[in-house]
Chains A and B, each alone.
Chain A
């Protein structure tokens, strides 16, 4: 028997008799959001995040050049620039002056060289120097800000007309173990495996090591490591020399992670990113990325064949 309230009413028995009118439908709104992400992502064959433990190691450069390498091999490719506060993929692809086309079916993403579809926060900000700020009085609350950023990424997945895509590369923001990348990666259903980017310095390798361990603890498949700035190519004679002292090979052996390839520092690569023009496919850097892309497809094929046997 429920407690009697003033007026002789018993709240418990009143509630029992009433049918709950769920006008807000909060649970179903969340479910619908998840269904929309799933429906869009079902049409993407391979979803590959590109991450690292450190900022400034060249994740975006590697993402762009991997996308180009795959597109040159005839695959349909997309890039999700998940770095919301420092988006640079559109500039590297030479399409920073474009934007989404909003239709009833969803947002049509701009396409860059080789018809690579790109989704980035950069397309929603009108001036290059503008910071990414959100409306609201509590804009400094990390909880609110985190929720907001997650929702933006969810909309990028659910509301963009990605269409049929063979490879979607996700350029994750800088951050390591307990930071955002694993959380962001958790938003995307059925990731096929991550590519880790590092540079050969003891500092970067140390942090990357933690990221690898943490990603594995989360059950994320790691396709392999790309070593950026592995050396320096002399612009005069073309000889390659060491640039930094870290031992990437040691991490590769210690953690049993494949080294997908090494990219030396090269001014023409840097220029191509700044100018938003891909390197010629005959350029030695392009050939290295082509090789890395082949290693990735081999690893994906291997993964699929292993799962088939289970």
Chain B
């Protein structure tokens, strides 16, 4: 309470800054180095790099929206189901003879509507995001199955199917460029718009945000709409990858998406998170999956490793926060 305490010593604050900013990146470098040492010939190739990026695209794009939701202090468990529903909507629209572009936009729009529904339930009825989106997860999965007659839908081929194709000589699929482009946009929006500031404020301290005249409910609603829309863009890529709509696809993917955001340094308590962190988090998971396959490790080993990384990331966040508290 006295004025003599000004700030933590520059050294610890510098260390913390590095940890916050580059922690996930250091993690990515470590796993890459590990696999590079163990399987240099097959891991460190241009083609493999392109494959890793391709495997990251769907999770990465959906995680952009999830980052907004989590920074605002919320959570969306329904994005896996939204992606499945999105692929089905796109496939059905294409079957009806709608142009590929409109079909893709239709998928994104339907996904955004799903997010809007969650957002409305959360803001209007003041229900817990966890519970609302848990319900939406089941309901939307059911809707996807109902719409498709519980069968995968394969429409005629269109240019959409090419979005996830690897280029020749290890060129990146256009879906990956889409992810990177959107990431830049969201990152800029978080830093250079009032909306971005409001998202952080709502997640950091909702009462302060209200006191300062931030339209808290509207910000939350928009965050869920955007979360849905980004999952919808993810659905376009998933559709391209599967070359069809599948109501059972992306089951459990929401957990990987949330994991990517958390590994990237966002706090589930809200108010904290970065887009670069999220992308790095998504990459870490793809690299681990890819590297384990190259090492010939079974699926279950991958799952244990990925789980361990998530816990390590949260532990790191906890340690960071504790040191911040101690210095406060």
Q: Do A and B come from one complex?
A: no
Interface residues of A, Cβ cutoff 8 Å to B: none
Interface residues of B, Cβ cutoff 8 Å to A: none
